Amino acid sequence: MSEFQNIGLIGRTESGSAVFSLKRLMAFLEQGGYTVILEQETAAAVTGQGQGARISSKEKLGEQCDLVIVVGGDGSLLAAARALAKFSVPLLGINRGRLGFLTDITPDEIETKVGEVLAGKYIAESRFLLDMSVSRDGKPFGRGSALNDVVIHPGEFIRMIEFDLFIDGQFVYTQRSDGLIISTPTGSTAYALSGGGPIMHPKLDAIVLVPLNPHTLSSRPIVVEGSSEFKIVVREHNVARPHVTCDGHDQVITLPGDVIRIHKKPHRLTLVHPIDHNFYETCRSKLNWQVS
């Protein structure tokens, strides 16, 4: 018997192709005798299919499921990760987005690859997330979490922002730039890569800080220990009101004097991959690395 019996499904409901793959996946799971639990919005998108499936909120899936399968793009998996990491339920991704670094099963492999995972043939990877909080006058007023990155940026206006950076209580620098990306290894192939940051292997216990268009050519990306704690103080001279986003969501708008704190989340996420998953092959295919 498979270790995964209760299987949650989350889908990119605005995508017709994702809904098609969801229905195909549901039929496969139900034929195999698995208990299917649909996330609420996903259930609404597949009306008429899977009448025996249970329906649950995204958070409750973490309590009820042995495995959650996400059908969509990396953004869909990031959202599921933020909601479910605290429950330690593993996630498996089927790609119905564009790049698909995290959702690595293609639609035409659903029965084959998902079947292998359910039979115990898979690779499990542990990934860490970041917790972010913002305080004003010593009182917290905004927070969020991220699997990829926390980004500080000027918001809707293109203006340089100025801030002080501290790592583990030690002053690092005062920077004027378009912002700063604080990225996990998982996020190193996302926005941080576009900003000139290094690609980090997912197994690394490290965090990279990538300045966005800094006002000095000597300001370069910094890779630090994964247990590091960051404090960013928004300086008084800012004309813009710096925004803080987590994986592009959970936006907090700051004021001069606000303090942003970022550190590793205590709960880790387990990502499940097919048995033939290879990080370097993913990089070759997604980033178009040269093959002789």
For CATH 3.40.50.10330, the residue range(s) in the chain are: 6-120
For CATH 2.60.200.30, the residue range(s) in the chain are: 129-266
Whole-number pLDDT of residue 51:
57
Confidence (pTM): 0.93
Whole-number pLDDT of residue 231:
98
CATH second-level architecture of 6-120?
A: 3-Layer(aba) Sandwich (3.40)
Q: What is the pLDDT of residues 45-92, one digit of tens each?
A: 886 554 567 899 988 999 999 999 999 989 999 999 999 999 999 999
Q: What is the pLDDT of residues 132-190, one digit of tens each?
A: 999 999 999 999 999 999 999 998 777 889 999 999 999 999 999 999 999 999 999 99
Among all residues, which ones are annotated catalytic? 74
CATH of 129-266, one of 3.40.50.300, 2.60.15.10, 3.50.50.60, 2.60.200.30: 2.60.200.30
Question: Residue 218 — very low, low, confident or very high, per pLDDT cuts 50/70/90?
Answer: confident
- The dihedrals phi and psi of 15, each to the nearest 5 degrees, come to -105, 120
